[in-house]
Amino acid sequence: MKKALICGISGQDGAYLAKMLIEKGYQVFGTARDAQMSNFPNLATVGVKDKVTYSSMALSDFRSVIQTLVKVQPDEIYNLAGQSSVGLSFDQPVETLESISVGVLNLLEALRFTGIKARLYNAGSSECFGNTDGVPATETTLFQPRSPYAVAKSAAFWEVANYREAYNLYACTGILFNHESPLRPERFVTRKIVSAAARIAGGSNEKLLLGNISIARDWGWAPEYVDAMWRILQQETPEDYLVATGETHTLEEFVAEAFNCVGLDWHDHVVADPSLLRPSEIMISRANPEKTLQKLGWKAHYKMKDVVRMMSDRN
């Protein structure tokens, strides 16, 4: 039985990944800063809370990382931990940089130091590309980060690439574009939109406050994306992969579809709020996931409208 260690198992991706790996016959271990005090509601939602072995680990604490790796002796490590909100990173840049870039560095250094032959998956982000002027990004597109979150993810990406080359570690980054599900917390705009539409359809008189709805993103379905993570670690040679649907839509289109799912016209319920605008913003995010299709045999089956509908159905 293979052993998988999921760092940041309490989040959206961690829950879906744990469920998939358990179904594949893995023994799954999950970490949190204080595992004894965590309720892991997402794992309970997907039905695997009692099937995971938990450990307390702080990625920013090198000793804590080494102790966990030596104890678990994992075959595969999935690093999904760290501050995950782009918007929040403008308010907490130091925490964001430390939790992401220092955390990844500690994992890599712990693997090098202990000699444990685990394969490492690192969660990258399309935010690293910044504005590509509408040109679809690939694995070789230059990074132009426009937020503290993107800066941290960019640093982590190059840490992984450096340790892979310098120390012959099996370490990869999956550069994931936006991927959503009902497990997203409401600080993420997609969940905020779907939840507000449902409440308004149920009789609420509230207005949905949004920032710039002309931004465009590539939105996919999170339960599909964790399969790509697993496939990345099953390859003979460690490489980085871009994971996306290949379709880009504006936030306005997302909003319109969410309200359409509950039989409402979004124009009657949405108000622009300048206070929600970010200091710097990526206007258009496009992706070319051709390498992932050709080498991993993975493609997204669910696109933006499917994602909105499934989030609305399970809201």
Which residues carry out catalysis? 125, 127, 149
Say if residues 309 and 181 touch (Cβ distance below 8 Å): no
Looking only at Cα atoms, what is the longest distance across the chain? Answer: 60
Pair of tokens at residue 51: 């099937």
The pair phi, psi for residue 183, each rounded to 5°, is -80, -5
Which residues make Cβ contacts (< 8 Å) with residue 67, sequence separation at least 6?
57
Which residues make Cβ contacts (< 8 Å) with residue 30, sequence separation at least 6?
5, 6, 9, 10, 14, 18, 40, 43, 52, 53, 54, 55
Element spanning 159, H or E? helix 148-167
Say if residues 82 and 8 touch (Cβ distance below 8 Å): yes
Closest by alpha carbon to 220, among 297, 120, 119, 289? Answer: 289
DSSP secondary structure string for all residues of 237-286: S---EEE--S--EEHHHHHHHHHHHTT--GGGTEEE-GGG--SS---B--
Element spanning 161, H or E? helix 148-167
Say if residues 143 and 154 touch (Cβ distance below 8 Å): yes
Q: With the CA atoms of 61, 65, 68 and 72 taken in that order, what torsion angle do they form, in degrees rounded to the nearest 10?
A: 170
Give the CA distances from residue 124 to residues 35, 54, 97, 107, 161, in Å, rounded to whole numbers and listed in that order.
Answer: 24, 24, 13, 15, 12
The pair phi, psi for residue 100, each rounded to 5°, is -95, -60
